């Protein structure tokens, strides 16, 4: 005689076990099997979009730091690109290269934390995170050199960057770029064929290609499902069309593929950094932009390939010093909509692993 159980509801959070942010999952279980999932967000909502409509275009830059706080400069990058598109501002060549350098350093720093905490979700305690932190600390030292901050980095400006890099920056970055491939090799040697990692991630939390496309997923979550879509290639912005790099894609769309794609993307970021350092020109780093910028009336959407996916800013100008409408397209909020499809039928432990593989940041989900 089959044992009949009655489904029950389990609240995971609002403090998640792996502290990805203040987030709640309302999970319906049949025993340990997931029957339904309802993500509950909003615990970190700060009203950034409305606040931004009462401040000048320049004053809004620090708001973007607080979105994905593990990739602050790429948030700055997307926003200033949108404003420059709206106001038709041309950025100096050196500033373009410095922006690319910072963006790819941010991608590596973000992916290091994504992989480290993903392994933490697998039960690997803090050891992998500390390995990842080893290289991330070197990047934080470099960010501190250029902007004085180690978390909510604020460096991009409308028309360029806030200041030129100090003389000690380039030697330190070149040393990092030379060493990083060896460290990535070390990570892969330790992890990619690890028996526990394979058992917990292969075939788990699959996001099919068609579902990924239909929900407008982006970033490593989309590419892990076999979709070769990267805005740096598909709709090149800044000077990305000058660099030679590959777009890694997965085959299955499971937790392992999402881990693997991020690992390979770090290698490609190192390639871009090598080329940017070779091509880095001299010159100005900031265009002459009015302190109180008044873009012509109109609307614009600017987007970039942030570490977590497509980050976009939709701005509407009424020719005043503040945006009439300020809207953010956050990658992890869109990616999170796939979670239910990925975990139904799996166990609670697999739910945690799948959620960790998506690399969410509640700062940009709630805004």
| Contact assessment for residue 87 and residue 293, using Cβ atoms and an 8 Å cutoff | yes
Instruction: Report how far residue 245's alpha carbon sits from residue 6's, in angstroms, rounded to the nearest whole number.
Output: 52
**pLDDT of the residue at 17:** 45
Q: Rounded mean pLDDT of the chain?
A: 90
Residue range 122-166, pLDDT digits in tens: 877 677 788 888 889 999 999 999 988 888 888 899 999 999 999
Q: Kindly list the strands in the beta sheet with 298-306, ordered across the sheet, starting from the edge strand earlier in the chain.
A: 298-306, 309-317, 325-329
pLDDT bracket for residue 312 (50, 70, 90): very high
Fold observed for domain 46-359: Cytochrome-c3 Hydrogenase; chain B (1.10.645)
Residue range 53-86, pLDDT digits in tens: 999 999 999 989 888 888 889 999 999 999 999 9
Percent of the chain past pLDDT 90, that is, above it, reads 62
Cα Rg, the chain, nearest whole Å: 21
For residue 189, with 0-12 CB atoms within 10 Å meaning exposed, 13-18 middle and 19 or more buried, which class applies?
exposed
Percent of the chain past pLDDT 70, that is, above it, reads 97
| Contact assessment for residue 53 and residue 39, using Cβ atoms and an 8 Å cutoff | no
| Contact assessment for residue 308 and residue 335, using Cβ atoms and an 8 Å cutoff | yes
For the chain, how are helix, strand and coil distributed in percent, rounded to 5? 50, 15, 40
**pLDDT of the residue at 2:** 62
Instruction: Report how far residue 198's alpha carbon sits from residue 203's, in angstroms, rounded to the nearest whole number.
Output: 9
Residue range 241-258, pLDDT digits in tens: 999 999 999 999 999 999
pTM score > 0.75 for this model?
yes
Please report, for the chain, the start and end positions of each structural domain, with discontinuous segments joined by +.
Answer: 1-45, 46-359
Angle at which helices 348-357 and 255-279 pack, to 10 degrees? 10
Q: Would the pLDDT of 21 be above 50?
A: yes
Residue range 326-346, pLDDT digits in tens: 999 999 999 999 999 899 989
């Amino acid at each position: 005689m089959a044992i009949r159980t009655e489904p029950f509801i389990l609240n995971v959070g609002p403090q998640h076990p792996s502290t990805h942010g203040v987030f709640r999952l309302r999970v319906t279980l049949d025993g340990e099997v997931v029957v339904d999932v309802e993500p509950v967000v909003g615990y970190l909502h700060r009203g950034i979009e409305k606040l931004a409509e009462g401040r000048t275009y320049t004053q809004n830059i620090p708001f973007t730091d607080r979105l994905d706080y593990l990739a602050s400069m790429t948030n700055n990058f997307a926003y200033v690109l949108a404003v420059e598109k709206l106001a038709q501002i041309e950025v100096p060549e050196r500033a373009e290269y410095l922006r690319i350098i910072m963006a790819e350093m941010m991608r590596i720093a973000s992916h290091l934390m994504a992989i480290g905490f993903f392994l933490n979700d697998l039960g690997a305690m803090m050891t992998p995170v500390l390995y990842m932190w080893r290289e991330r600390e070197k990047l934080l030292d470099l960010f501190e050199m250029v902007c004085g901050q180690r978390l909510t980095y604020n460096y991009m400006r409308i028309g360029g960057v806030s200041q030129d890099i100090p003389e000690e920056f380039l030697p330190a970055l070149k040393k990092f770029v030379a060493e990083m491939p060896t460290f990535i090799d070390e990570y892969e040697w330790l992890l990619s064929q690890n028996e526990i990692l394979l058992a917990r991630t292969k075939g788990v939390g699959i996001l099919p290609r068609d579902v990924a496309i239909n929900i407008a997923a982006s970033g490593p979550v989309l590419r892990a499902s076999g979709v070769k879509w990267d805005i740096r290639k598909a709709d090149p912005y800044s000077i990305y069309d000058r660099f030679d790099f590959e777009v890694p894609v997965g085959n299955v769309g499971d937790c392992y593929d999402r881990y693997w794609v991020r690992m390979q993307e770090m290698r490609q970021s190192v390639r871009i950094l090598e080329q940017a350092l070779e091509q880095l020109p001299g010159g100005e780093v900031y265009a002459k932009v009015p302190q109180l910028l008044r873009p012509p009336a109109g609307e614009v959407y600017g987007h970039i390939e942030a570490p977590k996916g497509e980050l976009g800013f939709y701005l509407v100008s009424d020719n005043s010093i503040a945006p009439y409408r300020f809207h953010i397209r956050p990658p992890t909020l869109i990616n999170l909509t796939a979670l239910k499809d990925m975990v139904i039928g799996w166990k609670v432990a697999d739910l945690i692993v799948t959620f960790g593989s998506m690399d969410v940041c509640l700062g940009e989900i709630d805004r």
